[in-house]
Amino acid sequence: MKNSLLFVLSASLILTFQEVVISRIAFPFANPSIFLIFVLSWAFLEKQWLAALQGFLAGIILDISPLSVGVIGHWAFVLAAVCYGVSELGVQLRASRRSPLTLTAVVTSGIFFTLIFFVISGALINSNQGYGFMQTVPGVVFWSLVFTPLISPVIIMVKRTVDGVGKTVE
Amino acid sequence: MGNDKARSRFFLSALLITSLLLITLDLRGNLPSEGLRKISATVGAPFQNFFNSIYRPVSTFTGDVFSLGRTRSKISNLQKENAALKEELSRTNAIKNEVKELKSVLDLAGAGRYKIVPARIIAVGSAGSFSRTIQLDVGSADGIKKDMSIIAGGGLVARILSVSKSSSIALLMDDETFKVGVRLESSGTSGVVSGTGGSVLELILLDSTSDLRVGQRVVSRGSSNSQPFLPGVPVGVITEVNQSAGSLTKSAVVKPFVDLNRISVVAVIVSKSKTDPRDALLPSPPKPTPTVTVFVTPTPNPSPTPSVSDSKQ
């Protein structure tokens, strides 16, 4: 439980950083999503049910973000499902779970599926957010390829620390 | 392990159902989404301010770095756009000037009740003959004939020398061979104004005893049968009077009302009015600028100070 609380706090801070700093830098193609990199990386290192819960909470954070205009619950739905899937993959790839290369490959494809899933589910619930996202998908995926290897060692280190804290508390 | 997986799937299903429930509630408008986002904004504000304070000093740098390529292409596009706009502006200004000139010509023609044919100057001067001539885009097809007067907004400009079907050549007033019979405003004293090849004209009065002053204005006297010149067309203003004792004639320098080097639109008078407009076509005289005169009256000092010699005594 402590893990999830720390995750929510970190995710909130990273989303704020994303909105205040990253999104204001005019990156070529599209802006990288540090928030999604963090959430999916965390999910990759987490147990399935916790990954699903944390994905759901991360989605709620995104949904109620002041800059969000979509339907509340949309991101929660998408991220709960994707984070569960990413975690499931992490369990399958147990041996190389903490390798930045594996993490990069999984997170980048996870981001790609997240955005595609968001667009498709958005079309189903008629949220009118599809076309804009479709245009940014290649750019976001490209930047996640660049940023994940840079960020993932920090995420892995923080996750280890948090897991240690969680174990001692539990 | 199998139980864990089933539990995880069950948990995931519960989360997905919760999400769908939230989506449904929000779509139906039963969820205070705006209020939730306001709360989120309030909670996140201190963190946003913190990140903003970090980001602000480096924002310009990052913006420059990441938009380097785009900035270059943007600059190039803006330069092209600027050049196009400058060209358009220059064209618009030229059209504006032509409209302004045409309006003043029409005003003058309207005041003199002249029937005119507006014309555009399509060529200036003839380097071969060194004469001050212009070519107009109107000719005999437009009713133009030799020796017709040409006016611009301020007054007389030239007279038609030769006419072809679609164009005509005119002799400008400042050409040395140009001569026009004139009379002075109000007094009616007659004289002849001729071109000097420069920016001013020369006036020679036929009566040497007549009064000639700087500032007097000159209008055309009119030729017999109004060809080439109509009566009452403004010519210029006297700027200098030449006083030479013993001379049989009096002369003066006249500055034409029209700047002959800056005209682009003129009008050829094709039909005169039945009455002589006299001085009615002259522009209203400029108002004299009031001069400020300061009078200083010395006031005597009420308590005179003792002089040095007084103090010595």
**Nearest to B152, CA basis, from B270, B3, B260:** B260
Is a pLDDT exceeding 70 seen at residue A51? yes
Cis peptide before B231 (omega within 30 of 0): no
Asked whether A82 and A55 are in contact (CB, 8 A), the reply is yes
Cα–Cα distances in angstroms (integers) from residue B270 to residues A123, B138, B145, in the given order: 76, 12, 8
How far is Cα B123 from Cα B141, in angstroms, rounded to an integer?
A: 19
Q: Which sequence spans correspond to the domains of chain A?
A: 2-19+30-162
Domain ranges of chain B: 2-66, 113-269
What stretch of H or E contains B161? strand B156-163
Interface test with B, best of A16, A60, A117 (most B CBs within 10 A): A16
Higher pLDDT, A3 or B170: B170
Q: Which CATH number fits domain B113-269: 3.30.300.130, 2.40.50.140, 2.40.10.340, 3.90.230.10?
A: 2.40.10.340
Query: Is B26 within 8 Å of chain A by CB?
Result: yes
B21 to chain A, any CB pair closer than 8 A? The answer is: yes
d(CA B207, CA B209): 6
Task: Answer yes or no: do B12 and A72 touch at CB < 8 A.
Answer: no
Partnered with residue B115 across adjacent β-strands are B271
A56 has pLDDT over 90: yes
The residue whose two tokens read 């003066």 is: B252
Nearest to A52 among B8, B20, B40 (CB): B8
Contact list in B for residue A53 (CB cut-off 8 A) is 11, 15
**Orientation of helix A100-124 relative to helix A130-169, angle to 10°:** 130
Look at residue A102 in the predicted model and tell me its pLDDT: 85
CB B242, CB B250: distance < 8 Å: yes
Q: Do B33 and A72 touch (CB under 8 A)?
A: yes
Euclidean distance between CA atoms B169 and B155, whole angstroms: 19
Q: What share of chain B is helix, strand, coil (3-state, %, to 5)?
A: 35, 25, 40
Contact A71 B26 (CB under 8 A): yes
Region class of A162: left (phi > 0), else alpha (psi between -120 and 50), else beta = alpha
Q: What is the pLDDT of residue B309?
A: 47
Element of type H or E holding A134: helix A130-169
Residue recorded with tokens 């010595």: B312
CATH 3.40.720 fits A2-19+30-162, yes or no: no
Q: Which long-range contacts (CB under 8 A, 24 or more apart) does B307-310 make?
A: none
Task: For residues A4 and A12, give the distance between their C-alpha atoms in angstroms, rounded to a whole number.
Answer: 12
Chain B CA closest to residue A19: B48
> In which residue are the tokens 């705006």 written?
B34
Residue-wise pLDDT tens for chain B (313 aa)? 567 778 888 889 999 999 999 988 888 888 787 788 778 777 877 777 787 777 666 666 666 666 666 677 788 888 889 888 888 888 888 778 778 878 888 888 777 778 889 888 887 764 444 567 888 888 888 899 888 999 988 889 999 988 888 888 888 888 877 889 998 887 778 899 988 877 889 998 877 777 888 888 999 888 776 677 888 889 999 998 887 766 777 889 999 998 887 788 899 998 876 667 777 677 776 666 666 777 777 776 665 555 444 444 4
Residue B71 sits at the chain A interface (C-beta within 8 Å): no
**Cα distances (angstroms) measured from residue B260 to each of A89, B286, B294:** 89, 21, 42
pLDDT reported for residue A20: 73
What CA–CA distances, in Å, run from B84 to B71, B81, B96, B142, B175?
20, 5, 18, 36, 39
Tell me the mean pLDDT in the region A96-112.
85
